[in-house]
Chains A and B, each alone.
Chain A
Amino acid sequence: MELHFDQELAQLKEKLLFMSSLTEQSVAQSLKALIQRDDVLAKKVDADDDVLDRLQVEVDERCIRLLALRQPLARDLRLITMTMKISTDLERIGDQAANIARRAAELNKEPELKPLVDIPRMAEICQGMIRDVLDAFVYEKPDLARQVIKRDEDVDRLNKQLQRELTSFMIEDPATITRALLLMRIARNLERIGDHATNIAEEIVYLYEALDIRHQH
């Protein structure tokens, strides 16, 4: 039986998906701005962050309205409450992308420190995590979400490796400090993106299996 409420839930899901595709795009473009030293693109990512902020508010408003007017239960309740959490994580990922873009613009003012290797690798894993977590949401595949969680360890490991490497750069040559610090922060931004993707994965497992798997891995 198709209810009016089902249509409202479908619209909510659509809104969240639009928000996620924009988030995914911001992350990709922030990295492109860094790697290709593209100031224009960096500015665009920064501007898109406002759009994401507005979408988050809009998604939350819809959720609160549905909670108040429909008093959802069981699966519906989980969809609406998890949508609120997922939208928060997406918005934070957007913030991290905007940070990366701003730091990329800073770096573009100086000569390249070194060819980037680990940061693109981290970025690739993070983007894969976001993509898969969205597929897990759309296709109702909690197992795919579980696999995403495992990949966060790779991101953390690469981040630690980068922090060590950049520290040695700074010790060897103080002239690299500004650039090395910016790269460190970008690595840290990516590490946070991995964490938010992990949160979303946990939220999706709860949405589809009603199992709270937070803080267990």
Chain B
Amino acid sequence: MDNTNGKPIVEISGLNFWYGPKQALFDINLAIQPNRTTAFIGPSGCGKSTLLRCLNRMNDLNDEQRIEGTITMHGMNIRHPDVDVIELRKRVGMVFQKSNPFPKSIFDNVAYGLRIQGSKKNHLEERVESSLRRAALWEEVKDRLQESALSLSGGQQQRLCIARTIAVEPDVVLMDEPCSALDPTATAKIEELIQDLKRYYTIIIVTHNMQQATRCSDFTGFFYLGRLVEFDTTNRIFTNPANKQTEDYITGRFG
């Protein structure tokens, strides 16, 4: 798997980002391949989550932010003022560190985005089922769809959030530490799921867990102090990184 092959789905070039006076990202250039999983790794505060949040303009919610450079998706500039941010976030879904189901039924959680889109009832049921199946949760919840989402276990809640995200058929799914609150069994299920889901979506995952990056990503970017230090296939990054800082980080000899 080559990082230069194929037409990227997301292209980031010359990206700089500031929180108030503090610059958080420096000249990021990166191409994300479609239907692949890309992992962002690096120590806390390295900018990986900030970059993730630039991709669906979550950072817009922060008044103090300033951004320079371009981010395109399918060749279209997502930072253009005419871009409908709601539409963008439909195409770029996000799953967070802490599962955040709505205090509604399991069914309604997955149906939420679809109803806003105005899906018809028949179609709705079909899509809820297929999303729950893709999120590997259907078998566990099919007989209790009307129960509260909050009755599910932590791992199930996180898979429910993934089902809710993919129900609106996004192109890209962003995951910010999706397993950090889960036990190893639930983590393993999510990791399996990530590998299944890349058939349909492009996945970008931020993780502190190096083994997680090795297990489920095709490409890995290592960030340090707001810079993208190295980007390559996951295999190469973890067997023979080109950069000494990358090697020191992944082998636990940082600092």
Interface residues of A (CB under 8 A from B): 1, 3, 5-6, 71-78, 210
Contact = CB atoms under 8 A, between A and B. Distances in A.
B96 interface: no
B117 interface: no
Contact of B252 (A5, A77, A210): A5
Contact of B210 (A1, A5, A73): A73
B251 A75 contact: yes
A3 B241 contact: no
Contacts of A73: 210, 214, 238-239, 250-251
A183 to B, nearest CB: 45
Nearest to B240: A210
A74 B210 contact: no
Contacts of A78: 239-240
Contact of B253 (A3, A77, A210): A3
15 contacts: A6-B253, A71-B211, A72-B251, A73-B214, A73-B238, A73-B251, A74-B238, A74-B239, A74-B240, A74-B241, A74-B247, A74-B250, A78-B239, A210-B239, A210-B240
A2 to B, nearest CB: 9
A124 B224 CA distance: 52
The list of the 3 closest CB pairs from A to B, nearest first, reads A210-B240, A73-B250, A73-B238
Contacts of A74: 238-241, 247, 250-251
B81 interface: no
Interface of B: 210-211, 214, 238-241, 247, 250-255
Given A210-B239, A210-B240, A75 B252 contact: no
Contacts of A1: 253-255
Given A73-B210, A75-B247, 14 more contacts: A1-B253, A1-B254, A5-B252, A72-B251, A73-B239, A73-B250, A74-B238, A74-B247, A74-B250, A76-B251, A77-B238, A77-B239, A78-B240, A210-B240
Contacts of A76: 251
Contacts of B255: 1
Nearest to A78: B239
B166 to A, nearest CB: 30
B238 to A, nearest CB: 5
Contacts of B254: 1
Contacts of B211: 71
Nearest to B237: A74
A73 B211 CA distance: 9
A74 B240 CA distance: 5
A3 B239 contact: no
B213 to A, nearest CB: 10
B184 to A, nearest CB: 14
Nearest to A72: B251
Contacts of A5: 252
B10 to A, nearest CB: 27
Contacts of A71: 211
A86 B145 CA distance: 58
A77 B211 CA distance: 13
Contacts of B250: 73-74
With most chain B CB atoms within 10 A of its CB, the pick from A3, A5, A73 is A73
A36 B101 CA distance: 83
A167 B243 CA distance: 56
A36 to B, nearest CB: 47
A3 B239 CA distance: 20
B6 to A, nearest CB: 25
Contacts of B238: 73-74, 77
Contacts of A72: 251
A1 B251 CA distance: 11
Nearest to B238: A73
A78 B247 CA distance: 12
B246 to A, nearest CB: 8
B252 A3 contact: yes
